[in-house]
Amino acid sequence: MYEQGRIFLQKYYGYQDFRPGQEKIISSILNQSNTLGVMPTGGGKSICYQIPALLFKGLTIVISPLISLMKDQVDSLVDLGIAATYINSSLDGAEIRERMQMVEMGEIKLLYLAPERLDSYDFQNVLSTIDVSMVAIDEAHCMSQWGHDFRPSYREVGTFVKRIPGMPIVTAFTATATGQVIADIQSMLGIPAENTFVTGFSRENLTFSVLRGQNKDTYIDRFLKSNKEESGIIYATTRKEVDQIYTNLTKKGYRIGKYHAGLSEDERKGYQEEFLYDRLKLMVATNAFGMGIDKSNVRFVIHYNMPKNVEAYYQEAGRAGRDGEESECILLFNARDIQIQKFLIEESVRSPERKMQEYQKLQAMMDYCYTQRCLQGYIVKYFGQEVELSCGKCSNCSQEFVEQDITLEAQKIFSCIHRMNERFGATLVAKVLKGSKDKRIHQFRFDLLPTYGLMNSYTEKELVDLINILIAEGYLVLTEGQYPIVKLGVRAVPVLKGQDKVLFKMKEKVTSIVEDDELFERLRKLRKELASKEGVPPYVIFPDSTLKEMSKHIPQDEASMLEIKGVGMLKYEKYGDKFLHEIINFSDPDRVREPVPTRQAPVRRSTILTPVDGESSHMFSFRLFEEGTSLKDIAKGRDMSLITIQNHIFKCAEEEVKIDWNDFIPLEHENQIVRVIEEVGTEKLKPIKEKLPENIDYMAIKAVMVKHKMK
């Protein structure tokens, strides 16, 4: 069964083999074992339950937290030709009944459900009449009261599963779970430790940065100018900040969406759809946005504020680079962020035990912002991965960040705060150091201080930024309240005495995430056009990583295109010719490609050949061939690609329909083709073709493989 899973992986997803983590999880599920998979975002969790779902006879129920996540997953599956649907509150009664009828009739392999739907009386009745092979729980950390996004409705999933006849296999998946959360999930779902697979938490394609003391709006403007064509998300803590960032960037000419709970449902849905379909490159949002976003080509995530804990941060940052391409995760930290999060804890958490835990998690997040060790290493250690990791590219590891000695500047600032009796905020301290004529300075006679005008070569803004850096590093502290006061911290004393230095790392320049690549941009444009016609998000057609591979390897024919990761046979049949045409047009415009899709004069819909009632599509193609129509003419008459028609013939052969193989296999070369296939293997066609005479085409090779059952 596992080998059949590999065939499905190649056919539907375009990958030659499972990743090591996926392999163990899928093997456990196929062995009929309840299984928990803890994998990083972008690690391929969905494949771990989708492949077994295709192999099992009955229905697979996928419990998923958000409507948008379900829709994205189902859209992608349907585009691959897999029978999937969802039921949630976005549907009316008639639509729900129609989909439930499809489930009852066995027409659906994967059914996505919101956890709130599990207690539905109608749904419970349907469950008693159908064969449920597996229940897959996505975002399983929502089950645990110790998880960062606990949802009471998820708590009932274990009870729901026990009510399903036949005891289906239970699988659970999450990207962000501490040891405490993992133990909670195992207990609720009856998953033993030996069937729990933690594949690691590191995301090698992500570059993490914590930037302290930056002017956040200036930095974002510079960053966006350097990455104009890339998709990104900017997270802010409050609705007010989201609206402010949205307004500022809109005024500067950026096309941007926004998302927070203060918008109407239609507004949120509209902006989200524009972003998913690449009609908007940027989204600024509170953390209410994104959990259900399966957009693979997000190239950067910027946090305008520090999130409340490491789990939330890693999940939000992990929305970048889901396709495996290099992406950036930037946290713009300011000490005021801490006060905001403390305020939110006090306002929203009632239980003393829970409040204590939230403060502990907040402290861990603050430590992340202050740490000098590798940021990726800090995160994986937080989740219990005992490994000393140095990523070599985060803001604490990378050579792009230079260490600067600001001891003298720090001493001047500390001295000024001390002489002002530690009673004022950062702005007034900066005014004194600048030598401002502000009337309050004269009122308090600060113009008589020896530190007045001591740093007049700096702007007030630069001085405030420096003070924020020192707050972030713990040299200064802020009091709580609406108007926080700056005070000296314990780390400031040895600096004032000349016993310690103040060093901090600063990024020298903002760089582009993605190198210029003309072919990649042309393929991206083609993808957007196709997506617009089909009404699907662009990444459903191909993710950026697949387009990158195309632009790097420049495939020239079917075989080399099928070598590209993410291009399975089904995807090739739908889009392969169009992308090959674009690639060849770019790399060799004078070349005439054979066979060229003969659709300059498309067959009118009224003349397209269609099967009779009850006749399958592949059997209709075979009947036309048996009646003397060439494969090329069948493809033209049915408005399909030649590859599709060839596969129709092979499918008939696999169903034991008698085929005259002499029509496809040159008799004098059949034994030679068999020997080469046995030598090279069946994983890829190109190595086989290269060892055979030039006059043997790919169809002959595939025909031999089908005839001799060598797949």
Res. 482: pLDDT tops 50: no
For 614, residues 6+ apart whose C-beta sits below 8 A from its C-beta are none
On the question of pLDDT at 454 being above 80, the answer is yes
Highest mean pLDDT among 174-178, 323-327, 411-415: 411-415
Task: Give the count of beta carbons closer than 10 Å to the beta carbon of residue 486.
Answer: 27
What share of residues in the chain are helix, strand, coil (percent, to 5)? 50, 10, 40
Q: Place 110 in a pLDDT band, splitting at 50, 70 and 90.
A: very high
Residue 145: band (very low, low, confident or very high) from pLDDT cuts 50, 70, 90: low
Please tell me the CATH code under which domain 206-400 is placed. Answer: 3.40.50.300
Query: What's the mean pLDDT in 444-461?
Result: 91
* Average confidence (pLDDT) over 315-336: 87
Which CA distances in Å does 64 have to 61, 118, 402, 450? 9, 11, 44, 63
The one-letter amino acid at 346: E
Average pLDDT score, the chain: 83
**What confidence score (pLDDT) does residue 50 get?**
92
Give tens-digit pLDDT for 503-537: 876 555 454 555 556 788 889 889 988 888 888 88
Low-confidence winner among 375-389, 516-530, 595-609 (lowest mean pLDDT): 595-609
- pLDDT recorded at residue 146: 66
Phi, psi of 138 (to 5 degrees): -85, 155
| CATH 3.40.50.300, the chain: domain bounds | 2-198, 206-400
Q: What is the spatial distance between Cα 172 and Cα 35, in angstroms, rounded to a whole number?
A: 6
Q: Specify the pTM.
A: 0.58
Strand 327-333: give its sheet, edge to edge.
206-212, 327-333, 298-303, 231-235, 282-285, 256-259
**In the chain, ranges of CATH 1.10.150.80 domains:** 519-707
Pick the CATH number of 403-496 from 1.10.8.870, 1.20.120.420, 1.10.10.10, 3.40.50.150: 1.10.10.10
Task: Report the CATH number of the 519-707 domain.
Answer: 1.10.150.80
Mean pLDDT, rounded, for 143-166: 76
Measure the CA–CA gap between 415 and 446, rounded to whole angstroms.
Answer: 13
Mean pLDDT of 372-382: 87
CATH 1.10.10.10 residue spans of the chain = 403-496
Q: Which has the closest alpha carbon to 140: 168, 117, 171? A: 171
Q: How far is CA 184 from CA 65, 532, 561, in A?
A: 18, 44, 45
User: What is the rounded distance in angstroms from the CA atom of residue 396 to the CA atom of residue 477?
Assistant: 23
How large is the angle between the packed helices 642-654 and 631-638, nearest 10 degrees? 110
CATH topology of domain 2-198: Rossmann fold (3.40.50)
